[in-house]
Amino acid sequence: MEDAVELEDAEPIRVVVRVRPIAAARGTVSVHAPDTIHVRRKEGELRAQFDAVLDTAAAQRDVYTQVAPAVQAALNGLNSTVFAYGQTGSGKTHTLFGGMLADEEGDEASEGMAARALRAVFAQAEAMRATGSQLAISCSFLEVYNEAMTDLLLPPAARQAGVALRCA
């Protein structure tokens, strides 16, 4: 697989920021590749550094290059999570699903992280099957919203309103 990662190179936690265009009235955001973001608002300025920062021109493929090591780590036997976080309307769904949504035209360039990761996982499973090996796959797809968790892999009729989360 392209962008393969060896077990010893796997990073336990990576924070990647994808910047979307913002209205000029709300301030300005400058991306200083590869890892710094500078936010200017009337309330003040903030400069922050992350493992990677992708600007507003970043394509879905560019974002997936940041996710691919987590996918490969899972294929190498490590537990792996991709976590999308942000306020409503910030682009989480577009990043995860891209052209898979009902109201969008789907093509390979617009595919989100879910489709790309699943393609990589099943390509690896097929390659292993060709050599006589098998790959056991388990997957969770959860939404955490307003302190309630919903399993998005269940059919809509079978989903609970959300399982309340407890703080320990």
Strands 52-54 vs 16-18: parallel, antiparallel or unpaired: parallel
Nearest to 56, CA basis, from 31, 38, 39: 31
In one-letter notation, the amino acid at residue 21 is P
* pLDDT for residue 46: 93
Strands 44-49 vs 36-41: parallel, antiparallel or unpaired: antiparallel
pLDDT surpassing 90 at residue 93: no
pLDDT surpassing 80 at residue 75: yes
User: What is the spatial distance between Cα 66 and Cα 62, in angstroms, rounded to a whole number?
Assistant: 7
User: What is the spatial distance between Cα 9 and Cα 67, in angstroms, rounded to a whole number?
Assistant: 14
Helices 113-130, 60-75: axis angle to 10 degrees equals 40
Q: In this prediction, what percent of the chain has a pLDDT beyond 90?
A: 37
pLDDT bin (cut points 50, 70, 90) of residue 100 is: low
* pLDDT for residue 76: 87
List, in order, residues 6 or more apart from 108 with CB less than 8 Å away: none
Higher pLDDT among residues 122 and 136, named by residue: 122
Round the average pLDDT of the chain to a whole number and report it.
Answer: 83
Q: Can you give the three-state secondary structure of 60-129, one letter per residue? A: HHHHHHHHHHHHHHHHCCCCCCCCCCCCCCCCHHHHHHECCCCCCCCCHHHECHHHHHHHHHHHHHHHHH
* pLDDT for residue 60: 94
Q: Which of 14-23, 52-61, 89-98, 150-159 has the lowest mean pLDDT?
A: 150-159
Q: What are phi and psi of 106, to 5 degrees?
A: -100, 130
User: What is the spatial distance between Cα 16 and Cα 114, in angstroms, rounded to a whole number?
Assistant: 16
User: What is the spatial distance between Cα 9 and Cα 138, in angstroms, rounded to a whole number?
Assistant: 23
